[in-house]
């Protein structure tokens, strides 16, 4: 039966980070025997014990379940996966190259080379990593060259199957994807992938079978569009912050038009993470390589708008602290806020300020809620800038503290919201965890030295905070002290 046939496929997943560990555990959940491989032995040891090295809702349970059942195993041996699996998914990293916009392809190239050198049976290699267009064609040539010289049994084919999972929803997105996109060069490759994804296909998930270039481009096009949508509303924030108006009402109103849609139109501190920022930069670098210098030039502005949001939070922090100081009646308020220049009467919005003597509570450092990922996190960037400008910065994130401390160890990481705000002159919400959306201003006000809050994600009801005695400011809203 077709059912028994798809159960018999053995899958390997190369690279067991956010993407790979999720894919491996979810494929085991779909009934396959899965072998995960990583070059990081510590990661493989942890996963083999059923310990997830990062936070992702629902994933830990799947990992434990399938490690216990024996359906999901982990190794560092390419020989083992090469002898064993029918299908090898590649989920290694494609980070931004240091000092450049382009993607660093060394991990993908190394993974494909190792597979091509070790496979000893008929196999399909399926790329899932996000790559510059043209990569799959190049890798198909590389595989052919290595196989021709290797003398090993089995024929090896390549397919590309970009991944669209969202951290925080990774399990759901893998088991029930919005769509499946496969770039294939043969019917055989498509049929194998249809077997792998038989379960989501049975739920009528759209199946897009196409060529390599389209499959690669679908992923970067989706991310470029999403980044554009976020920076679009954030560009309007720069207007409403200047002239007045309500950015959330504006987003709601345009979002009612189904051609526009309300999602991803939340004004705030902008996008970050291990994907969107590096993917829009890599896309610009790739099209420039292709001689299309102007084609993706607008993404430069998308990136700039996004990064200016971080300047805005720092600037707003200075303004709010100044307002709190002006408004106080005794002489023991927050310390002086002044520009580095000392003599400049009006600091420019992006100027670096010293915030010496102030204590600022940073609520959230993960780049998004329900994740512990702090790669290119706007929240962590803002926390670090405030620290660099002299503030005493207390950081609380429900899951992200450990990763953040690995990057910026000098911030004061605390274990609770209450601890973070205690004695603070200002709290800044930067990651919209439910815990922060549900904060009770009346409970927090007495803990703070000065009740002041900046809503960096537009998730709080301003009036509630004002009623509780807070000085309230939000991105996308003019701050009128």
**Per the annotation, does 167 bind a ligand?**
yes
Name the one range near ligand NAD by CB under 6 A: 11-19, 132-140, 141-149, 297-305.
11-19
- CB-CB neighbours of 191 under 10 Å: 11
Nearest Cα neighbor of 182 from 224, 223, 219 is: 219
Please identify, using beta-carbon distances, which residue of 91 and 334 lies nearer to ligand NAD: 91
Q: Which of 33, 86, 157, 167 binds ligand NAD (CB under 6 A)?
A: 167
> Can residue 272 be called a binding residue for ligand NAD (CB under 6 A)?
no
Nearest approach, Cβ of 167 to ligand NAD (angstroms)? 5
Nearest approach, Cβ of 290 to ligand NAD (angstroms)? 20
Burial classification of residue 58, based on how many CB atoms lie within 10 Å of its CB (0-12 exposed, 13-18 middle, 19 or more buried): middle
Q: Which of 11, 13, 19, 459 binds ligand NAD (CB under 6 A)?
A: 19
Contact, 428 vs 403, CB < 8 A? Answer: no
Size of the site for ligand NAD (CB under 6 A): 26
Please state, in angstroms and rounded to a whole number, the distance separating the CA atoms of residues 27 and 43. Answer: 19
Residue nearest to ligand NAD (CB): 17
Nearest Cα neighbor of 99 from 285, 273, 378, 288 is: 285
| Beta partners for residue 90, in sequence order | 14, 127
Please state, in angstroms and rounded to a whole number, the distance separating the CA atoms of residues 52 and 22. Answer: 10
Name the one range near ligand NAD by CB under 6 A: 103-111, 294-302, 415-423, 429-437.
103-111
**Per the annotation, does 432 bind a ligand?**
no
Please state, in angstroms and rounded to a whole number, the distance separating the CA atoms of residues 28 and 33. Answer: 6
Contact, 365 vs 429, CB < 8 A? Answer: no
Nearest approach, Cβ of 4 to ligand NAD (angstroms)? 31
> Can residue 93 be called a binding residue for ligand NAD (CB under 6 A)?
yes
Nearest approach, Cβ of 27 to ligand NAD (angstroms)? 15
Q: Which of 12, 130, 135, 174 binds ligand NAD (CB under 6 A)?
A: 130
Please identify, using beta-carbon distances, which residue of 37 and 316 lies nearer to ligand NAD: 37
SS3 417: helix
Helix count (H) and strand count (E) of the chain? Answer: 20, 16
In the shown chain, the binding pattern of residues 32 to 61 toward ligand NAD, with x for contact by CB under 6 A and - for none, equals -----xxxx--x------------------
Residues contacting 164, CB < 8 A, separation 6+ = 173, 177, 178, 179, 219, 222
**Per the annotation, does 435 bind a ligand?**
no
Strands (E), 145-304: 156-160, 180-183, 207-210
Q: How many residues does the chain have?
A: 481
> Can residue 315 be called a binding residue for ligand NAD (CB under 6 A)?
no
Please identify, using beta-carbon distances, which residue of 291 and 406 lies nearer to ligand NAD: 406
Q: Which two tokens stand for residue 292?
A: 């299309």
- CB-CB neighbours of 181 under 10 Å: 22
Q: Which of 94, 237, 284, 401 binds ligand NAD (CB under 6 A)?
A: 94
Name the one range near ligand NAD by CB under 6 A: 5-13, 44-52, 163-171, 176-184.
163-171
Please state, in angstroms and rounded to a whole number, the distance separating the CA atoms of residues 384 and 145. Answer: 47
> Can residue 163 be called a binding residue for ligand NAD (CB under 6 A)?
yes
**Per the annotation, does 281 bind a ligand?**
no
Which amino acids are annotated catalytic? 275
**Per the annotation, does 268 bind a ligand?**
yes
Nearest Cα neighbor of 118 from 174, 37, 188 is: 37
The residues of the shown chain that bind ligand NAD, judged by CB under 6 A, are 14-20, 37-40, 43, 91-94, 107, 110-111, 129-130, 163, 165, 167, 274-275
Query: Residues annotated as binding site for NAD(+)?
Result: 38, 43, 94, 130, 167, 278, 375
Query: Residues annotated as binding site for substrate?
Result: 164-167, 219, 264-268, 272, 368
């Amino acid at each position: 039966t077709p059912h028994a046939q798809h159960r018999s496929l053995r899958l390997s997943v190369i690279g067991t980070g956010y993407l790979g560990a999720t894919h491996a555990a979810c494929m085991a959940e779909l009934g396959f025997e899965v072998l995960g491989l990583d070059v990081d032995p510590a990661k493989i040891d942890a996963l083999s014990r059923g310990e997830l090295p990062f936070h992702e809702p629902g994933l830990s349970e799947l990992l434990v379940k399938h490690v216990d059942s024996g359906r999901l195993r982990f190794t560092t041996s390419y020989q083992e996966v090469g002898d064993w699996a029918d299908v090898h998914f590649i989920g290694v990293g494609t980070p931004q190259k240091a000092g450049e916009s382009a993607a660093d392809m060394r991990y993908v190239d190394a993974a494909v080379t190792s597979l091509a050198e070790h496979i000893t049976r008929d196999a399909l290699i399926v790329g899932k990593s996000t790559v510059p267009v043209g990569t799959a064609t190049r890798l198909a040539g590389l595989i052919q060259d290595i196989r021709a010289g290797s003398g090993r049994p089995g024929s090896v084919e390549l397919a590309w199957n970009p991944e669209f999972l969202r951290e925080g929803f990774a399990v759901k997105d893998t088991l029930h994807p919005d769509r499946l996109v496969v770039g294939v060069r043969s019917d055989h490759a498509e049929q194998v992938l249809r077997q792998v994804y038989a379960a989501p296909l049975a739920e009528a998930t759209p199946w897009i079978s196409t060529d390599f270039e389209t499959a690669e481009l679908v992923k970067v096009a989706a991310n470029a569009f999403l980044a554009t949508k976020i920076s679009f509303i954030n560009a309007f924030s720069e207007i409403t912050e200047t002239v007045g108006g309500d950015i959330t009402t504006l987003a709601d109103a345009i979002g009612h038009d189904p051609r526009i849609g309300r999602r991803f139109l939340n004004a705030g501190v902008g996008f970050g993470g291990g994907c969107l920022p590096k993917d829009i930069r890599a896309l610009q670098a790739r099209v420039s390589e292709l001689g299309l210098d102007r084609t993706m030039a607008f993404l430069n502005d998308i990136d700039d708008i996004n990064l200016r949001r971080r300047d805005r939070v720092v600037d707003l922090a200075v303004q709010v602290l100044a307002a709190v100081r002006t408004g106080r009646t005794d002489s023991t308020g927050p310390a002086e806020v002044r520009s580095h220049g000392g003599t400049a009467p009006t600091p420019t919005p992006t100027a670096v300020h010293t915030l010496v003597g102030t204590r600022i509570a940073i609520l959230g450092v993960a780049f998004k809620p329900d994740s512990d990922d702090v790669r290119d996190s706007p929240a962590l960037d803002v926390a670090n800038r405030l620290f660099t400008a002299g503030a005493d910065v207390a950081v609380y994130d429900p899951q992200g503290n450990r990763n953040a401390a690995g990057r910026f160890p000098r911030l004061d990481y605390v274990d609770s919201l209450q601890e973070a705000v205690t004695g603070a002159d200002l709290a800044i919400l930067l990651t919209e965890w439910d815990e922060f959306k549900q904060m009770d201003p009346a409970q927090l006000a007495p803990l703070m030295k000065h009740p002041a809050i900046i809503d960096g994600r537009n998730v709080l009801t301003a009036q509630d905070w004002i009623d509780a005695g807070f000085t309230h400011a939000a991105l996308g809203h003019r701050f009128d002290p």
